[in-house]
Structure 1
């Protein structure tokens, strides 16, 4: 893969969409249009011939599904990333979740608009964000590769791999083992989240003694499919949050795409209720992690364990400060296992993390904190 220019193949059955996507790609620095394909068969031939760094792949191609194209790309062992374009139907949502589990980097919702210009404007922000997240992810992983092959000292290499800047500390002694009890677990996650969540929850082997609330940056219509995917892979009680739901131990609640989620006090002593709102986006996100954490800090009467996982940007940082002030326990995912090391890095650099863990270690940390619940 080129270290500087992202050579990109656009695969879509619509000539209009191929034109729109190609035009948007040309507006992004560091991206080069390598070619286009109208169907899966031509796409696979061009992938073998052109060896692109990135494939923009429509999920609903005329001759085969985008998922089948993605699986064949993996069989080719082609070193390219894939961003999928998907419609908003329930079937396409489930197919998109499967594509993410099969290795797609990210997905973007194909908007329905009356004119080409309206379609381009509706698509522009989310599409560019997905491509820029990939560029940032590749930049970080290149820096880790360089650190791993340089003559740096062991400590310097570890700091580079974890992407923990010099002088930034992670306080593993802030809490004693007996003080790690929590009454609620909150997970904030973005780019790379669906497959990461599926991996984490499928590795949990015992009932959880506390409620878990997840904010995954995701468009409307896709969160229900994500909750279904995690539930089927894990066997846990995972569901899309609905307004008025009572927060219960052992249940996992996923914030619906396109809206905010908050926690308020219930009518019974010690009870808490989930509320959905359509307040304006925060950090360009709805749902927003900070939005949820602000309500948790204000209304939740117990102790909170916060996990900030893979994702671009800094959503969750302001909320993590509130959780820290309230005596919560904070875990950040490490750079090496993140698809994009943005949100966890912000928490680590602010010296708010009690632990920095790989993706493979997060399930056991969730179980450990849940196991110590009162």
Structure 2
């Protein structure tokens, strides 16, 4: 979907149409969750601090998010997808992969299906969507970003490898800003440059992700569209109006975050074996500390005991904290290999 949250707000509030809109908090510590295309012309982007967004676009209009409204529209769109295929893998409220190799309407062309789905979404919701069509997930995702908004782009099988060779490395899905900078220093500017590196060299430099980079440089991505994709983690976090500088302030905020996390665990019938504490400092430096136990983590008391232990892993006496978060992983419904634990032996 195109600027999904912001587009829903502009649809529901005509006075916002044609104006730069940011969904998110407008305070000094707020963050932009979504920006309309009018706002993007000024350089406003999602995940940008609201204070920076306001400086980039003085006329920016901030709107508080309405997640219930976005979820309702998302469900409408999902229903449309299922008219064509049951192989739908949601990535978020506004994005999904569809495998239409064998589709319910027996349409011979994925491009025709994408065009029809875009039309149905527009008729049903009043919103525009962009579609990417190709032979695998990586290429389809790449294609979906080419002609936004209201775009449709095909990377045909015979063009796939040549297209990737020309693609700028920062446009590769799965290569973030930090990794792109590292690749620039290696002389890698596009897919053709990346293709010159052996798989072993990429693994040495980038770990397991190197195997992925090696394959996508050759337009290879064998991941199937998985309609039963399982959640890997569950979390809650909070950004503060003023930096936290006292341990008691930190503990107080973690109590509230724990309550939110516990509520989400109960709603989704989720428990896990790893708790992660996320801390972002006033200078945007970020650390995480994790603890894995053999028993299920399933209540506030357990979470509190674990985050108290994690707090001892860094010095809280001289810090200024702008964000705290807690997340649970190694969940009870993950279809993954069992977690290994180190035994403690008494000598």
Taking structure 2 as the reference length, the TM-score comes to 0.26
From the CA coordinates, give the structure whose radius of gyration is larger.
Answer: 2
User: Using CA pairs below 8 Å that are at least 6 residues apart, which structure has the higher relative contact order?
Assistant: 1
Taking structure 1 as the reference length, the TM-score comes to 0.25
